[in-house]
Amino acid sequence: MSLTRRDFARRSAITGAGIALAGSVGALATAPNALASTETDIDTESTGETSAKPGGVGYGPLIPDPKGLLALPAGFSYRVITYSGKTKLESGEFTPSNHDGTSTFCGPRGATLLVNNHELRGPRAGWKYPVPLTEGLVYDPAASGGCTVVEVRGDKVAEWVGIAGTSTNCAGGNTPWGTWLTCEETEDKAGQNGMTKDHGYVFEVDPEDRRRNQNPKPIKALGRYAHEAVVVDPQRGRLYLTEDASGPNGLLYRWTPPQGFEHGHGQLATLADDAGALQAFKCFDSGGKFVDDLSRATKIGTVYGVDWVDVPDRDAKTTSVRKQFADGQVTRARKLEGMWWGDGGAYIVSSFARAESPVQHDGAVWFYDPKRRTLTLKVLIGVNPDPSVDGAFDGPDNITVSPYGGLVIAEDGEGIQHLFGATDSGRTYPIARNELNNGTEAAPEYSEFTGVTFSPDGKTLFANIQEPGIMLAITGPWKRQKRG
């Protein structure tokens, strides 16, 4: 049953300010997964170093790394897990490059398993370290991307291919049954960019049972478009998917399984190409007015009602899915990026907004409540006046919900790149800074962070530096956020 504009307007009138602020303060504080806080105020001194004052949020100032890799607060440390071109797979090839979305899983005998996307687009010849074409695990032998599985057991690390021959594997998402859904952020078809098969699909990877990854098959029921991230509603069985695309801006999708379908290992790949219902979101405000783009919201706590509109041709045989809708049919958003399931709903990143917004900003995080069918603005990041100076954040991308409360966000903006936390009140604070300069001293370049995720026991924060491709494990005195 759809939530009509009239229903939403009537509900808003009845509950008044309660619905306008629902979740804007309290939801993150109860998250099962921001890292929390010793209550310190973030301050940027004239030196450009991020520092902290007692009484606010965060873990204190970031201390420069003598090794020139990762700045962390006092008491924190890191360990390199994989490094493209330096560490090797079990098969002897080098770790592939361009690390992206990642998730952790409980492995055998106390090990931690991670599935790591490699965002490699186009032909294999264009990359020094593509994902190796491991026999039985290849979808399209012309494609350079895929996933590796990393096993961490104490000081020992092993890595092998989970899937190969896919393209532009971006954020993805984990499932309640212990697998990884890797998403292709491309719309290349057979014959384009050297590809021999159509791309723009979601594939399932099992981190523990390698046999289940044989003969990879795209889950066409979830559509073919520039996929970014996916989450699974464990109660209702629905999947939510983001699209990072422009011209026009991308969409948020919902896939509802067919009646009688039961999720489990490999079950999505058994579905017919048109199984279930794939729909795009359509938002409206408390007055019943249609919202054409999420960037129209300018205040934390803004709440929109959500309806869902059927996708006409989910395989985009002639027209990209997002272009199949006329103005007024669906709501769009620039750079719909990472998602993470928590608090009974999905946290969703929309990376930034410019000319399309009444107020330009450098990133937003929304929360979709499937029970109430509402979308609430949780975090809004102002325009970073000078990304080359440390202190402010911009361009949120991958995201996770922390076991210590709140959110941890990977920055993919301009200039200096951070991992940063967001509290229940929407305040932000630094956790780490990338100090690996891929450019020159005169024109420094710092790669984005990706794949932010906690270990199953909550003691280790894993994250990637996308280029050249480095997986890091961060440990330290994590603390639960004060709720007051």
Q: What is the pLDDT along the chain (484 residues), one digit of tens a residue?
A: 444 444 444 444 333 322 222 222 233 322 222 222 233 333 333 333 444 444 467 899 999 999 999 999 999 999 999 999 999 999 999 999 999 999 999 999 999 999 999 999 999 999 999 999 999 999 999 999 999 999 999 999 999 999 999 999 999 999 999 999 999 999 999 999 999 999 999 999 999 999 999 999 999 999 999 999 999 999 999 999 999 999 999 999 999 999 999 999 999 999 999 999 999 999 999 999 999 999 999 999 999 999 999 999 999 999 999 999 999 999 999 899 999 999 999 999 998 888 888 888 999 999 999 999 999 999 999 999 999 999 899 999 999 999 998 999 999 999 999 999 998 777 889 999 999 999 999 999 999 999 999 999 999 999 999 999 999 999 999 997 554 3
CA distance readout (Å), 6 to 9, 20, 39, 213, 242: 5, 16, 43, 47, 27
Shortest CA distance to 127 belongs to which of 154, 88, 161, 167?
Answer: 167
Shortest CA distance to 70 belongs to which of 444, 430, 484, 459?
Answer: 430
CA distance 293 to 334: 8
Q: 60 Cβ partners below 8 Å, 6+ apart?
A: 38, 40, 51, 52, 73, 74
Sheet containing strand 202-205, strands side by side: 173-174, 180-183, 202-205
Place of tokens 């202190």: 391
Q: How far is CA 8 from the centre of its chain?
A: 29
- Maximum Cα interatomic distance, the chain, rounded to a whole number of Å: 64
Shortest CA distance to 115 belongs to which of 136, 137, 135?
Answer: 137
Q: Per-domain residue ranges for the chain?
A: 5-113+212-475, 114-211
Q: What is the pTM of this model?
A: 0.90
Q: Are 78 and 422 in contact (CB under 8 A)?
A: no
Which amino acid belongs to residue 106? Answer: C
Place of tokens 């020159």: 440
Q: For 319-346, how does the pLDDT look when each residue is reduced to its tens digit (9 = 90+)?
A: 999 999 999 999 999 899 999 999 999 9
CA distance 238 to 132: 33
Q: Phi, psi at residue 238, to the nearest 5°?
A: -80, 155
Neighbours of 206 (CB within 10 A): 22
